[in-house]
Amino acid sequence: MDIIFNKGKDCLDKKMPFVIYCKPNSDKLIGVFQKNDNLFEIDSFEETGFAFVSFDGKKKYLIPRNESDVYIETINEIDYFIENEIDLNIDLDAKTTFENLVEKGVKAIQNNQFDKVVLSRKEILKIDNFDFGNIFNKLIFNYPNTFKYCFYHQKIGFWIGATPEQFLQSSENTIKTVSFAGTQPYSETEEYIWQEKEKQEQQFVTDFILTNLKKYSTEISFSEPYTFRAGSIVHIKTDIEATMNTKNDFRNIIEKLHPTPAVCGLPKEEAMQFIIANEDYDRTFYTGFLGELNIDFATFNNTKSDLFVNLRCMNIENDFANIYVGCGITKDSIPEKEFIETVNKSKTMKKVL
């Protein structure tokens, strides 16, 4: 793995674009290193390369296959286990601000502006001697069933994360996605009981995805909701599969589904406008999506795409890490509990720092 990480550090020094990533439960580390510093945009979603798309869908960028060198290495047996629980100091001002935001969201739902909205916040942490190779190894070892990545472009920034949520996976005319919502801390002994608020929140996501898939696909099937572990927390998850009417519908499905109710809300446009108007920062690429577009870089099969929602991530700026966390709000949300949910989610990145 040293070759890929050393190549990444060299690109950082030279301010050249690259992405290094590892898929869920994979032993392959993949590095895609762009040979120039151009900023390539996605136009048709027929392009081939590694996609990086913003929350609002307005910034659609690509590290193109035909402009890049690709390296693949097998991950060594490593031990980067994080033994100790981290001490999470609660910022009381941040707590008050976020709880007020949640309260505003609940009132908007009660006033029938929308059924659900996903609200988020940003934490800024001072970091010393940031070593992305060390951080990435910790992500690989501690969050094996997530999509681990670090992405750099001098015109976009440096992002690193371990997201548990698939956005879309396609192979020929078959597509797969997931409905994802609800959060509880992970426990080795506990049997998870999901409250009605969490079940409803997840059902909103499922219904939204199924309704939109029916417009462009057939033979839709889906699993029963089940509990899924992602690091130190668990969620409710439903697996969904469908057959696209034509390959040309892939772009339509992307544009209809993104951003899903799992990261935005429902109805989508009303929830997004509330988020933009009331969150006190710009999400940029947090809750956007990223991944392989029309290429499997491990096999160079150009009939596949593998895209993930950009969750459990941070943006590194100089000596600071911007950590992004959010939660789904419904009419039954309790502001303090929602804040605690964001605190639990922040552990994913804070542990590796």
Cβ neighbors of 322 (< 8 A, separation 6 or more) are 122, 123, 124, 314, 315, 316
pLDDT at 87: 64
Q: How confident is the model at residue 278 (pLDDT cuts 50, 70, 90)?
A: very high
- Whole-angstrom Cα distance, residue 321 to residue 147? 19
The answer, yes or no, to whether residue 175 has pLDDT greater than 80, is: yes
- Can you give the pTM of this predicted structure? 0.93
Return the pLDDT at 201.
Answer: 84
Query: In the chain, pLDDT over 70 holds for what percent of residues?
Result: 97
Q: Does residue 108 carry a pLDDT above 60?
A: yes
User: What per-residue confidence (pLDDT) applies to 83?
Assistant: 54
What per-residue confidence (pLDDT) applies to 89?
Answer: 75
Q: What are phi and psi of 325, to 5 degrees?
A: -145, 145
Q: How do the domains of the chain map onto residue ranges?
A: 2-352
Predicted pLDDT at 84: 57
pLDDT value of position 184: 85
Closest CA to 345 of 260, 286, 267, 264: 286
Provide the pLDDT for residue 62: 98
Residue with tokens 């059902």: 203
**From CA 204, how far away is CA 216, in angstroms rounded?**
20
pLDDT of residue 78: 65
Q: What is the mean pLDDT of residues 291-310?
A: 96
CB 43 within 8 A of CB 168: no
pLDDT of residue 200: 86
pLDDT tens string 18-60: 999 999 999 999 999 999 999 999 999 999 999 999 999 999 9
Q: In whole angstroms, what is the distance from residue 261 CA to residue 274 CA?
A: 13
Mean pLDDT of the chain: 92
- pLDDT tens-place string over residues 60-73: 999 999 999 999 99
CATH superfamily of 2-352: Anthranilate synthase (3.60.120.10)
Whether the CB-CB separation of 206 and 226 falls below 8 Å is answered with no
Q: What does the DSSP assignment read for 173-199?
A: TEEEEEEEEEEEE--SSPPP---HHHH
pLDDT above 90 covers a percentage of the chain that reads 77
Check whether the bond before 267 is cis (ω within 30° of 0): yes
| Cα distances (angstroms) measured from residue 268 to each of 104, 257, 258, 289 | 18, 9, 9, 16
Res. 252: pLDDT tops 70: yes
Q: N- to C-terminal Cα distance for the chain?
A: 20
DSSP 140: H
